[in-house]
Structures are given as C-alpha cells and as structure tokens.
Structure 1
C-alpha cells in the first residue's frame, strides 16, 4: 500500500491486534507487516506513546535466557480502540462515497 497511514490509524491497528492477544514488540511488528509497511523503529515510539496514555501495560516473560516485554491492552486502550473504530467507520463511509462516485 502506498497511501500513508496516520498516527491515529496506526494506533488503532496496534490496539486492535492487542485486543486479540498480548504481543512482544518484534512479534507485533511482524503481525503488522502482514498488512502495513512498518518498521520496528516506527512501532516502538507508538507503543511508548500508547503506554504513556494508559492504553497499554507491559509485563516481562523470560525466553531463552532473556526477557521479552509483552504489551497488553488496558481498559483505557479498549475504550480508545472503540473511539478509533467509530471514527474510522465515519471516515471510511465518507471516502467510499467520494471515491466510488455514487453521489446519487
């Protein structure tokens, strides 16, 4: 996809994935990359921002002698995701109307 994604939509995508399950950073990047051209260096500031906004919390799990930091959705994150989904539905409907040309 060549269209840029806004920070708000990227937040929504991250929150939507974390609503399904907890992820550690690299696995979350891999999952996002199945749909969006995103790098780890782009994702980690998003995760820090969402954590600062109390949308996410973290916990560590040992793995092969190291710790993996997992991200989990909070209640605030669930509410923010609902807001973004509503905003997206309205935005998508408006764009569909414009781009599809069905203005009757």
Structure 2
C-alpha cells in the first residue's frame, strides 16, 4: 500500500522510491533494496505497477502505478482506515475505563 501511495504521486526508480518512502514517513520506513525490489516485482506481476527502462544519463527502471494499482490502493486505504479507526477506538475506550486489577 505504501509503495502504491508513493507511486500515486509520480513514477520513480527504485532508489527514488525508497528515498520518498523514507522522507514522507519521517524516517520510519527505511526499506532495504532486498525488500523493495521483490515487492515492486510482485506488484508488477499483479498488474498494479508497470515499469520501463529509461536512459537519463544512467539506465534506470522506472515504476508507475496503473489503473488497477490505483483501484487496489483505494481499496487497501479504506481497509487500513477501518482498521486504524478500530485500533484508535479500542485504545480510547481503554483509556477511559482502565481495567483495574483485571487481566486482559
């Protein structure tokens, strides 16, 4: 989902994508190449991402989100928001009524 969200802002080669993930997350997502490229390849095989070789002084593979990828991103974002809302609600309810002396 995070890769698709980053590519939704514009196509990028792998290193630029990793840098964008790091920057937009405030350093929380420092994705190693050993994880990033296999994920990109899986997304490409599923049709969520397309790639092409470009030559801009260096030969680089540039990745872009597809229409199917945008649909997937919207679906996963909705699911994530429902999940995050559920977590937030559960944490808020626990903060209001702490379970004194009871195991959880």
User: TM-score, normalising length from structure 1?
Assistant: 0.81
Residue 47 (structure 1) aligns with? 40
8 Å CA contact 1:59–1:71 kept in 2: the answer is: yes
Compute the displacement of 1:69 (Å): 0.6
Question: Alpha-carbon deviations, 1:20-72, whole Å to 9, x = none?
Answer: 100000100111122213111110011000001000100111022x3111001
CA RMSD of aligned residues (A): 1.6
Residue 32 (structure 1) aligns with? 21
8 Å CA contact 1:58–1:69 kept in 2: the answer is: yes
Question: Which structure has the greater CA radius of gyration?
Answer: 2
Q: Return the alpha-carbon distance in structure 1 between the equivalents of residues 38 and 17 of structure 2.
A: 13
Residue 5 (structure 2) aligns with? 16
Structure 1 residues without counterparts, runs of 5 or longer: 1-11
Equivalent residue in structure 2 for 1:99, among 91, 95, 100: 91
Compute the displacement of 1:103 (Å): 6.5
Structure 2 residues without counterparts, runs of 5 or longer: 98-104
8 Å CA contact 1:97–1:103 kept in 2: the answer is: no
8 Å CA contact 2:18–2:30 kept in 1: the answer is: no
Q: Return the alpha-carbon distance in structure 2 between the equivalents of residues 55 and 14 of structure 1.
A: 10
Equivalent residue in structure 1 for 2:66, among 69, 74, 80: 74
Q: Return the alpha-carbon distance in structure 1 between the equivalents of residues 55 and 31 of structure 2.
A: 26
Query: Bigger shift: 27-36 or 84-93?
Result: 27-36
